[in-house]
């Protein structure tokens, strides 16, 4: 932490707080956040029982916000992890094998880049139906290509190094060299994409649930914004507040990411 700059430290602190909020949600805001808990359309900072007010059905906004953190972070973390994993494996195979395999894998990567990630997620959800695992799959489908490209470029430059030649003379199998020797060394630059992947995943999940294609049994910030939109004139804060939560989360991810990549650049 100490070696990070101020911006990154602010971002990291916010992320830790958000994670705590997600983990402790059942204790911070007990009960079902989708249950009606009071008078409808209470303004924020009026009632002590509903600090941020209630929505048009009388559901507590703060409880929704706290529980929404869970969905957001869960989906974002796992889909970014899946995307990075798939991307780095594809990139390693592609860069290490070269030749025809490389051409085929790179064309597939390009095909995935050609289809807008959000539309791909939408199409996948329409086939599989919305749930947390399918959302994770759908979002990572459009999110792995950049990791594949970056890893491939890194593997190409590592492939000719002495330690790879040494591993060959030791009699290691090609795939063993690729995944045990080259991939760990190529992972640094790919990991710096993690922040962008997480941020993209958060925004896609929010947009999907805003359109009503998220998991219907969970409260998410996107659905809260969509719900609030129906009373936008009377109670704009119902849409604005969950959006601020989104912006803060994505911004802190970016701040941490920028700090980490700057640190890596200084070290190399």
Any contact of residue 233 with another protein (CB under 8 A)? yes
Any contact of residue 207 with another protein (CB under 8 A)? yes
Q: Which of 126, 157, 185, 230 forms a contact with another protein (CB under 8 A)?
A: 126
Burial class (CB in 10 A: 0-12, 13-18, 19+), 85: middle
Total residues in contact with another protein, by rule CB under 8 A: 44
Q: Which of 98, 116, 174, 216 forms a contact with another protein (CB under 8 A)?
A: 116
Binding mask 182-201 for another protein (x = CB under 8 A): -----------------x--
**In whole angstroms, how close is the CB of 247 to another protein at the nearest point?**
5
- How far the first Cα of the chain sits from its last, in Å, is 18
Burial class (CB in 10 A: 0-12, 13-18, 19+), 174: exposed
Q: Rounded to an integer, what is the distance from CA 97 to the centroid of its chain? A: 30
Whether 212 contacts 222, CB under 8 Å: no
Q: Which is nearer to another protein, 159 or 254 (CB)?
A: 254
Q: Which is nearer to another protein, 120 or 148 (CB)?
A: 120
List the interface residues with another protein, window 13-52 (CB under 8 A): none
Nearest to 245 by CA among 218, 228, 225, 216: 225
Give the integer Cα–Cα distance in Å for 202 and 104. 30
**By the criterion CB under 8 A, which residues form the site for another protein?**
7, 107-108, 110-111, 113-120, 122-127, 199, 203, 206-207, 210-213, 225, 229, 232-233, 236, 239-240, 243, 246-248, 250-251, 253-255, 258
């Amino acid at each position: 932490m100490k070696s990070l700059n101020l911006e990154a430290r602010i971002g990291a602190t916010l992320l830790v707080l958000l994670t705590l909020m997600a983990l402790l949600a059942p204790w911070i805001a007990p009960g079902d956040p989708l249950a009606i808990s009071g008078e409808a359309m209470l303004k924020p900072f009026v009632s002590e029982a509903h600090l941020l007010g209630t929505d048009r059905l009388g559901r507590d906004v703060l409880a929704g916000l706290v529980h929404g953190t869970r969905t957001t972070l869960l989906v974002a973390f796992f889909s970014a992890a899946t995307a990075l994993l798939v991307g780095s494996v594809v990139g390693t195979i592609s860069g290490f094998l070269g030749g025809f395999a490389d051409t085929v894998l790179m064309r597939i990567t390009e095909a995935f880049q050609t289809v807008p990630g959000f539309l791909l997620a939408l199409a996948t959800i329409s086939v599989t139906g919305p749930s947390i695992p399918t959302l994770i799959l759908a979002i990572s489908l459009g999110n792995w290509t950049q990791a594949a490209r970056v890893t491939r470029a890194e593997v190409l430059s590592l492939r000719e190094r002495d330690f790879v030649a040494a591993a060959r003379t030791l009699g290691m199998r090609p795939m063993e060299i690729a995944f045990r020797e080259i991939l760990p060394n190529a992972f640094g630059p790919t990991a710096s994409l993690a922040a962008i992947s997480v941020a993209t995943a958060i925004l896609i999940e929010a947009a999907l649930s805003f359109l009503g294609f998220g998991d219907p049994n969970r409260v998410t910030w996107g659905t809260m914004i969509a719900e609030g939109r129906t009373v936008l004139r009377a109670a704009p804060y119902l849409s604005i507040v969950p959006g601020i939560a989104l912006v803060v989360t994505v911004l802190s991810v970016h701040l941490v990411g920028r700090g980490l990549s700057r640190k890596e650049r200084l070290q190399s």
